[in-house]
């Protein structure tokens, strides 16, 4: 009797066991290199810097500074499935899950679909589940509900949610409003949790920090901050959930870093495995978008999560220099 069938079966079993480990190792090996970069222009009005820190823990941070007055720069948010009605507004105040406003989409696909130069994930959303690499939701194109206000090209996509702030984009500037509608003239808007709202200087008071940032746990974050006149926007994204690579950033650390850049108001967008930063690759609209951060979904590094909505930017390419 030949022993090959038995050996073949044994080889197939070992291949089945080792294949997931090999795939996991491949994804880890292809994460962005752990190297800090100097501030570098990406597009007209947009600069980027990657920062690597080892204390008090491993952190990989991505900082974008966006000049909202730059020529050709225009924000854009995910369009809704259909125009909201007054009936939808009433339903959303009773049961938010009764209204599904957008279709889930990966941030890279959002950027490519609309021909954008830069995009990040935005509002919190539901339903959401992450049970295993094959059992998760939402999937691409699934209808989802947004938490907080969202607007796209002047059309309401989602209504307000208690205790959530809205980042509203008007021509050449942005404002953050709390539990209220955006000012007249707003064209794009996304929402998140308030970290700090005040007309005065960013407070250094320790009691304020202890009450405002009541979650000391490091996490993958996506924070947005604006300057006092609203013409500058900073986006700070922190990679997380990846031991020995980047364990994440606390809300206090992230907000104070944005304060150091010049932000006077800060809002927390969806984070965790939703945290995604994508740019147009080499300025070629047909090319594959480039993900700048180390995404992680269903505990798999390099796997991008479909999310409910996004904040993107049209921007002019940098002038050619010899």
Dihedral (CA of 118, 124, 128, 131) sign: positive
- Prior bond to 56 cis, omega within 30? yes
| Contact indicator for 122, 270 with CB cutoff of 8 Å | yes
| Contact indicator for 274, 199 with CB cutoff of 8 Å | no
Does position 85 have pLDDT exceeding 80, yes or no? no
Neighbouring-strand partners of residue 132: 135
**What would the pLDDT profile of 210-268 be if each residue is shown by its tens digit?**
445 555 789 999 999 999 999 999 999 999 999 989 999 999 899 999 999 999 999 99
Mean residue pLDDT across the chain: 86
Q: Name which residue leads in pLDDT, 174 or 194.
A: 174
Q: Which residues neighbour 176 within 8 Å (Cβ) at sequence distance 6 or greater?
A: 165, 166, 167, 168, 194, 197, 226, 265, 267
Q: Name which residue leads in pLDDT, 193 or 315.
A: 315
Question: How far is it, in rounded angstroms, from Cα 59 to Cα 227?
Answer: 25
Does position 320 have pLDDT exceeding 60, yes or no? yes
pTM, entire model:
0.86
| Cα 262-194-102 angle, rounded to 5 deg | 110
Residue 93: the pLDDT is: 55
Residue 181: the pLDDT is: 87
Q: Ranked by mean pLDDT, which of 23-37, 90-104, 194-208, 285-299 comes out on top?
A: 285-299
Q: Which residues neighbour 47 within 8 Å (Cβ) at sequence distance 6 or greater?
A: 39, 40, 41, 64, 65
Record the tokens describing residue 193, joined without a space. 């949790």
Domain segments of the chain as ranges: 1-30, 35-314
Residue 233: the pLDDT is: 98
Does position 89 have pLDDT exceeding 60, yes or no? no
Question: How far is it, in rounded angstroms, from Cα 158 to Cα 190?
Answer: 9
Q: Cα 107 from chain centroid?
A: 8
Question: How far is it, in rounded angstroms, from Cα 313 to Cα 15?
Answer: 44
> Token pair 């870093």 is at which residue?
257
Phi and psi torsions of 305, nearest 5°: -95, 135
Q: How confident is the model at residue 195 (pLDDT cuts 50, 70, 90)?
A: confident
Question: Which H or E element spans position 118?
Answer: strand 118-121
**What would the pLDDT profile of 125-161 be if each residue is shown by its tens digit?**
999 999 999 999 999 999 999 999 999 999 999 987 7
Neighbouring-strand partners of residue 177: 166
Nearest in space to 49 (alpha carbons), one of 287, 195, 235: 235
Residue 32: the pLDDT is: 82
Average pLDDT over residues 41-64: 96
Q: Which residues neighbour 80 within 8 Å (Cβ) at sequence distance 6 or greater?
A: 101, 102, 150, 152, 155, 156, 157, 158
| Contact indicator for 108, 305 with CB cutoff of 8 Å | no
């Amino acid at each position: 009797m030949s022993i090959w069938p038995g050996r073949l079966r044994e080889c197939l079993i070992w291949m089945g066991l080792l294949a997931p480990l090999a795939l996991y190792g491949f994804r880890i090996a292809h994460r962005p290199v752990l190297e800090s970069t100097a501030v570098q222009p990406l597009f007209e009005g947009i600069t980027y810097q990657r920062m690597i820190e080892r204390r008090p823990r491993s952190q990989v941070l991505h900082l974008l500074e966006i000049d909202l007055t730059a020529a050709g720069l225009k924000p854009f948010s995910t369009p809704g499935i259909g125009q909201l009605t007054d009936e939808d507004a009433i339903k959303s105040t009773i049961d938010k899950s009764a209204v599904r406003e957008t279709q889930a989409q990966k941030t890279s696909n959002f950027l490519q679909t609309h021909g954008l130069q830069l995009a990040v994930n935005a509002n919190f959303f539901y339903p959401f589940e992450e049970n295993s690499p094959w059992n998760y939701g939402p999937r691409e194109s699934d209808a989802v509900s947004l938490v907080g206000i969202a607007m796209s090209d002047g059309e309401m996509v989602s209504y307000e949610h208690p205790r959530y702030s809205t980042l509203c984009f008007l021509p050449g500037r942005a404002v953050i409003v709390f539990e209220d509608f955006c000012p007249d003239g707003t064209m794009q808007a996304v929402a998140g949790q308030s970290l700090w709202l005040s007309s005065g200087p960013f407070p250094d008071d320790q009691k304020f920090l202890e009450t405002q940032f009541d979650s000391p746990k490091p996490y993958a974050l996506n924070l947005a901050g604006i300057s006092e006149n609203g013409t500058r926007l900073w986006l700070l994204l922190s990679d997380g959930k990846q031991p020995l690579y980047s364990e994440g950033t606390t809300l206090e650390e992230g907000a104070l870093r944005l304060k150091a850049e010049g932000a006077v108001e800060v809002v927390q967008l969806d984070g965790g495995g939703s945290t995604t930063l994508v740019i147009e690759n080499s300025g070629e609209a047909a090319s594959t978008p480039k993900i700048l951060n180390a995404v992680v979904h269903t505990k798999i590094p390099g796997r991008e999560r479909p999310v409910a909505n996004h904040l993107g930017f049209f921007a002019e390419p940098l002038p050619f220099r010899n």
